[in-house]
Structure 1
Amino acid sequence: MESVNYTSVREFLLLGLMEDPQWNLLFFCIFLTMYIVTVLGNMFMMILICFSSKLQNPMYFFLGHLSFSDLCFSSVITPKLLHNLFSNQMAISFNGCATQLFFFGLFVGAECFHVTVMAYDRYVAICNPLLYLLIMSRSLRLVLVGAAYTGGLLTSIIHTTCTFHLSFCKSNKVNHFFCDIPPLLQLSCSDTFMSELFTFLLSSVLGSFSAIVIATSYAKIISSILRMKSSKGRQKAFSTCSSHLTVVALFFGTAIFMYARPISSYSVQKDKVISLVYTVVIPMLNPIIYSLRNTQVKDAFINVLYRILVFK
């Protein structure tokens, strides 16, 4: 039989968070404030890491890239959300939707690998402190960061291709505030089984790989900490890991719930809330978590601020 291209959708309508538009202004003010905090917080971390001599070690090198990923994937989603809330114009072109999903997948995938690499970095720092700088050399750091972005790129290409090779001839109303995989698959008039399978398997494999690396690293870290004779040393080691563990719990908890499960279990309102957590809330919280719970970051900020005021 002759194959027919059923694609007729040229643009999508993002229905947003709430059906009642009377809440749009309130949500706009809330998310605008959160986005400003996200941008300033992550730029603050990147600038501080670049210019502070106290933060020139592998841990903060990776933290700088984590902040960059947070800033980028939040910026892929939040400005469009703010525009829709303010103007009440929900349209996004077919290509714009594909582009949004691609870059979102790229930076979320990169963030997943960054968090995993940071767990390995903490393992080396605590379990092999004398060889830390030798093992985590500049060349290895560049390789690990490059692998994180490459991994994010590859997973994004797969997810975007699996989603947008389908035909969309049903409703063009996406019951979400951005172009995400589950609500888009629900609009397709093609057989979505293979796309759902690829999405589920890829997310499960990446999540399992990251979970294994992080769990193994922290099992060895905890074992090493418990063998320390100095209570001050144990406290310092736990302090350096607590921020990262908090970020791991927030990021992987929400991401695994969203993507490492069958699309058939998708729940619109519940998943909108979960999506808000990892697209808007987590990128805002990460620099706060690392700055408030890290004395080196606080000291570096004071030193940089002092130098600025003195030279001024």
Structure 2
Amino acid sequence: MNSQTSNLSLTENITTIIRPPYFYISGFTGIPHMKYYYVFLSLVYIISLMGNIFVMFVIYVDRSLHSSKYIVVFNLALTDVCGTTALVPKLLDMFFFDRQFISYDQCLTNQFFVIVFLFMQSFNLTILSYDRLVAICCPLRYHMLVSHRSMFQLTGAAWVFAVLIVLIPVGFITSLSFCRSVVINSYFCDHYPLYSLAAPCSDVLPNRVMSHLIPCIVFFIPMIFIIASYICIIHALFTITLPRDRHRAIKTCTAHLILVAIYHLPVNITYLFVSFLPSNIRILNLSLTSVLPPMLNPIIYVLKTEEFKVSAKRLLKRVAQRAVGPLMLT
């Protein structure tokens, strides 16, 4: 009798984790004319790849851009290439070729890489705001505070932190049981729709806490730092007496402010009101946040940053001369 009782209590204490062999990504369901949106995503992906690879190539080739600031710009372009590549090709493959089933392990891998690169964009923009803050408020100490070593350390720490902080919610997913639906109401293996599927079968409180805490750390705190840094920058601008110097200082911040606006405004709205936004609006907003900033970042830098524009023109002129030279000889 005692043996049977102990076996029963042991059986009750064993928790069986139900992991489905696959998930089904529903994507943009119920939204009319979505085939045109997929074509749009394809064009955005191609432009993003070409633009960011061009930015990295110009920075790598032109020694005049081998400064501390452009370490972060290069890292931002690299993040954009990796982020769009982690997301868009798989998305297009699923919905153009009706391959919306994804295995359990592939789903967690997809979630990890997409979110890591999304977070890295926030960290890169924060490091660039630090660069602008020091350049305008402490110009005499700029080369001491913003050295190659400090920029490599900041970007390296950002990568490590992004990887570690994403591993936490992904790790919590592995402890959940999915005993009912396997349909993810998103366009990738998004964390919030995924752990919501396990709500009837598992305690999702740790996942819910992480889904609110991590965006605060990754999006809202950097946004507060960026706002505070620009308050200091605006105050410093009033102390600059020469209009030409003030105009030059403002111009150096314009590109960064545009990048911050097109990235932080939609992503903060999405994660701040994640529980209140209609599903389709959330999916479209988050998808545009994932693909538009990587496409616009190189365009903005080419158009708004004078030193990069000069370097790009010089490089293109050199390439054109080398291409035309053999033709002139023949």
State the TM-score, normalized to the length of structure 2. Answer: 0.88
| 1:306 aligned onto 2:297 | no
| 1:78 aligned onto 2:88 | yes
User: Number of paired residues?
Assistant: 310
Q: Which amino acid aligns with 1:283?
A: P
Q: Distance in 1 between matches of 2:206 and 2:18?
A: 18
Change (3 A) 1:208 1:176: closer
Aligned to 1:171: 181
Q: Distance in 2 between matches of 1:174 and 1:88?
A: 15
List aligned pairs for 1:98-177, cutoff 5 A: 98-177=108-187
Deviation at 1:237, TM superposition (A): 1.1
Aligned to 2:39: 29
Partner of 1:38: helix, strand, or coil?
helix
1:88 corresponds to which of 98, 103, 107: 98
2:263 corresponds to which of 241, 248, 251: 251
2:284 corresponds to which of 264, 273, 293: 273
Partner of 2:176: helix, strand, or coil?
coil
Q: Distance in 2 between matches of 1:255 and 1:28?
A: 21
Q: Distance in 1 between matches of 2:316 and 2:237?
A: 34
Change (3 A) 1:24 1:205: closer
RMSD of aligned alpha carbons: 1.8
Deviation at 1:260, TM superposition (A): 4.0
Identity %: 29
Q: Distance in 2 between matches of 1:147 and 1:6?
A: 34
| 1:210 aligned onto 2:225 | no
Change (3 A) 1:8 1:113: closer
| 1:4 aligned onto 2:15 | yes
Deviation at 1:74, TM superposition (A): 1.4
Q: Is the 8 A contact 1:109 1:153 kept in 2?
A: no
Q: Which amino acid aligns with 2:311?
A: A
Aligned to 2:303: 292
Structure 1 window deviating more from structure 2 (2-11 vs 168-177): it is 2-11
Q: Is the 8 A contact 1:6 1:169 kept in 2?
A: no
Q: Distance in 2 between matches of 1:223 and 1:30?
A: 42
Q: Is the 8 A contact 1:55 1:297 kept in 2?
A: yes
2:60 corresponds to which of 28, 50, 60: 50
Q: Distance in 2 between matches of 1:19 and 1:265?
A: 18
Q: Distance in 2 between matches of 1:266 and 1:37?
A: 30
Deviation at 1:280, TM superposition (A): 1.4
Q: Which amino acid aligns with 1:120?
A: Y
2:242 corresponds to which of 230, 238, 245: 230
Structure 1 window deviating more from structure 2 (241-250 vs 1-10): it is 1-10
Q: Is the 8 A contact 2:220 2:268 kept in 1?
A: no
Q: Which amino acid aligns with 2:213?
A: L
| 1:40 aligned onto 2:47 | no
State the TM-score, normalized to the length of structure 1. Answer: 0.93
Structure 1 unmatched runs, 5+: none
Partner of 1:265: helix, strand, or coil?
coil
Q: Which has the larger radius of gyration?
A: 2
| 1:190 aligned onto 2:196 | no
Aligned to 2:328: none
Change (3 A) 1:214 1:52: same
Q: Distance in 2 between matches of 1:166 and 1:51?
A: 49
Structure 1 window deviating more from structure 2 (246-255 vs 226-235): it is 246-255
Aligned to 2:326: none
Change (3 A) 1:164 1:258: farther
